[in-house]
């Protein structure tokens, strides 16, 4: 599948089977994540992989409160997912990298000096690469918010204390499911609300974007 087609098809797939993902397919998805951009080529984004039932159960237990998954049938596919990926990043590595002679002129040798924390940008780029690659390979992917259990997950992955667990991705073969989001999710915004043309030539793109977005099947 071409990259643009995969981007347009991409959406969260929480209805997943327990069927295993073959090694080559999973390796290709992780490889895509590792090829994401990296500020200063710091390469401080790490992908932790869990495939065995025990390690996957430990991750889900750390991420959720007791009974949360059992009370939400639409989320049970996350328990069945044969692979979980933890996208992590070590901000301290960025300060170290930008303290090197070839980068020191940027003045970013300490975390407090970064006006925009680019480690989050790099982690987001890694996540998107994983999601698009999964779509291209017909693997369902769902993001699990990592709002709790960071210490447990950090220890499980053997990461430095300076590392942060950014997001978790469940991967599996998708089941057919209706396209719906959260009951509180607002409708798709018009491109005019999200794109800012700065000149007349750029303004010409807006009608094209409205047409493209109107035919988009992807979503959250």
Q: Please, where are the H alpha helices in the chain?
A: 3-9, 23-34, 53-63, 76-80, 91-97, 118-136, 150-157, 200-203, 205-214
168 by DSSP, 3-state: which? strand
**Residue 151, CA distances (Å) to 11, 127, 138, 165, 166 in order:** 29, 21, 33, 9, 12
In percent, the amount of the chain with pLDDT more than 90 equals: 69
In the structure, what pLDDT confidence band is assigned to residue 193 with cuts at 50, 70 and 90?
confident
- Residue corresponding to tokens 């057919």: 176
Pairing of strands 83-89, 45-50: antiparallel
Of 18-32, 38-52, 74-88, the range with the lowest mean pLDDT is 74-88
Taking a C-beta distance cutoff of 8 angstroms, is the pair 133, 28 a contact?
Answer: yes
Question: So what's the pLDDT on residue 215?
Answer: 52
* Average pLDDT of the segment spanning 49-76: 88
* Average pLDDT of the segment spanning 48-63: 95
User: Is the pLDDT reported for residue 185 higher than 90?
Assistant: no
Residue 81, C-beta contacts closer than 8 angstroms, at least 6 positions apart: 16, 18, 56, 142, 170, 171, 172
Going along the chain from its start, the domains and CATH numbers come out as 3-178 (3.40.109.10), 187-220 (no CATH)
Separation of first and last alpha carbons in the chain: 20
Q: Tokens for 101?
A: 């002679």
164 by DSSP, 3-state: which? strand
Q: Mean of the per-residue pLDDT values for the chain?
A: 90
In the structure, what pLDDT confidence band is assigned to residue 180 with cuts at 50, 70 and 90?
low
pTM for the predicted model, two decimal places: 0.88
In percent, the amount of the chain with pLDDT more than 70 equals: 92
Q: Edge-to-edge strand order for the sheet containing 45-50?
A: 45-50, 83-89, 164-172, 140-144
């Amino acid at each position: 599948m071409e990259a643009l087609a995969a981007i347009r098809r991409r959406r969260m797939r929480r209805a997943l089977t327990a069927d295993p993902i073959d090694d080559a397919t999973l390796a290709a998805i992780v490889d895509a994540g590792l090829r994401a951009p990296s500020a200063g080529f710091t390469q401080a984004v790490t992908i932790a992989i869990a495939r065995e039932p025990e390690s996957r159960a430990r991750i889900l237990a750390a991420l959720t409160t007791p009974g949360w998954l059992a009370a939400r049938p639409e989320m049970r596919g996350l328990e069945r997912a044969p692979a979980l990926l933890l996208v992590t990043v070590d901000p301290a590595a960025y300060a170290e990298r930008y303290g090197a002679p070839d980068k020191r002129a940027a003045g970013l040798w300490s975390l407090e000096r970064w006006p925009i924390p680019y480690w989050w940008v790099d982690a987001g780029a890694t996540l998107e690469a994983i999601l698009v690659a999964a779509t291209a390979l017909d693997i369902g992917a769902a993001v699990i918010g990592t709002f709790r259990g960071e210490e447990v997950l950090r220890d499980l992955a053997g990461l430095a204390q300076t590392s942060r667990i950014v997001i978790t991705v469940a991967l599996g073969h998708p089941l057919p499911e209706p396209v719906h989001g959260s009951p509180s999710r607002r409708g798709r915004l018009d491109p005019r609300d999200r794109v800012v043309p700065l000149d007349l030539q750029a303004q010409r793109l807006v009608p094209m974007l409205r047409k493209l977005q109107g035919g988009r099947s992807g979503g959250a």
